[in-house]
Every structure is written in C-alpha cells, then in structure tokens.
Amino acid sequence: MKAETHLKAQRAAASVSHDEALKARLAKNTKLAAAYVQAALQDGDQAAYLLALRRVAEARGGMAQVAKAAGVSRESLYRTLSKGGNPRLTTLTAVLQASGLALSVHAKPGVTRAKSR
C-alpha cells in the first residue's frame, strides 16, 4: 500500500510543470525570489530579467494584484514585463515593491572608479 501511495505522489509531482513548481517555490520564499531576479539582472539580458520579474509577480500575488499594488493596469504590467517591454525605473521599483522585493545598488568588485575616456 505504501508503494502505491508513493507512486501516486510521484505521478502527481511529475504532472506539475517546471514553471508551476518554480512559481510555488518563489511564492513561499522571498529570499529565493530576490536571488532569482538578481541572477537574471546580473546576466545583463533585459528579456531574461523581465521574464524573471514576471514569474515572481505571478507567484507573489498574481499579475492583477501586483499591478494594482504597483499602480498600473494589469494589461500595462503584462506589456511592461513582456520580452520586448521597456519599463520605466519607477514602474520596475513599484513592481518589485508590490512583489515584496526592493532594488539595491552595490559596488562592483574590483572597480574603484569609472574609466576615463
């Protein structure tokens, strides 16, 4: 009987998509959500960053709730966080805050000043 229950649990787990499993983890763990968004931002790919932020927004309340808390329409939020989105800093900051995150700036290791031209 235990083996049958275990097999059913494995089948149920296998039927959950990768995105749904990720969203469930992001919803439960704010530190993971922050690290996920930060890793996407550090890669320097804006589309990847916007996708990561969209997944976090979906996980941490849903797009409608995050849009309302950020002071933008749901449609505008979807457009802003799309692959071709070009969000304003104020919108990004508001979406991060509505998702329980904050933007911060850190010194880049090994860089002491800007290079002159």
CA distance 3 to 105: 51
| Res 109: pLDDT | 85
Task: Report the pLDDT value the prediction gives residue 35, as an integer from 0 to 100.
Answer: 96
Domain presence at residue 107: no
Q: Is residue 63 part of a domain?
A: yes
The DSSP letter of residue 82 is S
User: 70 with 95: CB under 8 angstroms?
Assistant: yes
- pLDDT of the residue at 11: 59
- Could you tell me which of 55, 45, 67 has the C-alpha nearest to residue 19? 55
pLDDT number for residue 56: 97
Q: Judge whether 74 lies within some domain.
A: yes
According to the model, what pLDDT value does residue 1 have? 52
The parts of the chain modelled with pLDDT lower than 50 are none
What local confidence, expressed as pLDDT, does residue 10 receive?
58
Whether residue 55 lies inside any domain: the answer is yes
Whether 72 is covered by a domain: the verdict is yes
For residue 54, what are the domain limits? 17-98
Other beta carbons within 10 angstroms of residue 87's beta carbon come to 21
Residue 6 lies in a domain: no
Q: Residues 35, 51: contact at Cβ < 8 Å?
A: no
Q: Are 51 and 82 in contact (CB under 8 A)?
A: no
**Measured in Å, how far apart are the chain's first and last C-alpha atoms?**
73
Q: Is residue 116 part of a domain?
A: no
Domain count, the chain: 1
Does 1 map to a domain? no
Contacts of 39 (CB under 8 A, 6+ apart): 52
